[in-house]
Amino acid sequence: MPEPSSRGYASGRRRRDQVVSAAFTAFGTVGYRQTSMSQIAADCGVSRAGLFHHFPTKESLLEAVLDERDRRHSLRFFEGAPGPGRDGLDHFARLVALTGANATTPGIVSLYAVLSAEATDPAHPAHAYFVRRYENSRRHLTMAFEDLRSRGLLRDPSVDGLRLAEEIIAIMDGLQIQWLLSPTAVDMPGRLRERLSEIIRVDLPDVPPTPAAEV
């Protein structure tokens, strides 16, 4: 039988996950600024004291929501994948699929776009998150391009992998902003796939559809 302390820990973890899930939904539908901590507490059925026990500030909850976004994407699109350094084609195919899925969550995409700009201020609560995220993205994309280079699959084998990585990130971020402004005029996954086809000598494989990750 579990000890009382372990039961308490499990209960606390479940409650924390409930708070993050409620905030994820609220931030994605209503917006970060328009969502109050009181609303989130009511949405997940906890007291304000209980909410602040897990997240003493709204900024700390925001960071947890951003981490949750990454966790869901990782589970849905990259779970079981060989990895960018082992199969660049597979990695880019999954990236295109992820870009398409983003079109179903405009609130979260908008939150990400706004915060990524605001977080250029070192004092912003999400600054460290975005610095870390862009570093990881550049590294993973560079690894994917280097894998393709080693297999003779780049149209221009002399091109710098890091510069390509920076370009792809810029394209994805720019497409998101244009899509938010004109959703019916911008095809995010289609445009990304088109640019990748100009860099890679072969077509990207199809990625089997996977269910949305559970919280």
The tens digit of pLDDT for each residue in 96-148 reads 999 998 888 887 888 888 888 888 999 888 899 999 999 999 999 999 999 99
Distance between CA atoms of 186 and 179, rounded to whole angstroms? 5
SS3 of residue 70 by DSSP: helix
Kindly tell me if the per-residue pLDDT of 213 is higher than 80: no
205 contact partners, CB below 8 Å, separation of at least 6:
89, 90, 93
What is the reported pTM?
Answer: 0.81
For residue 11, how many other CB atoms are within 10 A of its CB?
Answer: 10
Supply the pLDDT for residue 155: 97
Highest mean pLDDT among 1-15, 52-66, 173-187, 198-212: 173-187
Q: Do the Cβ atoms of 98 and 175 come closer than 8 Å?
A: no
Distance between CA atoms of 211 and 185, rounded to whole angstroms? 27
Q: How many residues does the chain have?
A: 215
Residue ranges of domains in the chain, CATH in brackets: 1-56 (1.10.10.60), 59-215 (1.10.357)
Question: What would you measure as the largest C-alpha separation in the chain, in angstroms?
Answer: 62
Distance between CA atoms of 112 and 159, rounded to whole angstroms? 30
Q: What is the pLDDT of residues 36-62, one digit of tens each?
A: 999 999 998 888 888 999 999 888 898
**How high is the mean pLDDT of the chain?**
88
Residue 158: phi and psi, rounded to 5, are: -90, -5
Crossing angle (nearest 10°) for helices 88-102 and 161-181: 20
Distance between CA atoms of 143 and 146, rounded to whole angstroms? 5
Tokens in use for 2? Answer: 């579990």
Instruction: Report H helices in the chain.
Output: 4-29, 37-44, 48-54, 58-73, 88-102, 106-118, 127-150, 161-181, 188-199
Q: How far is CA 109 from CA 137, 173, 178, 180, 185, in A?
A: 17, 10, 11, 8, 16
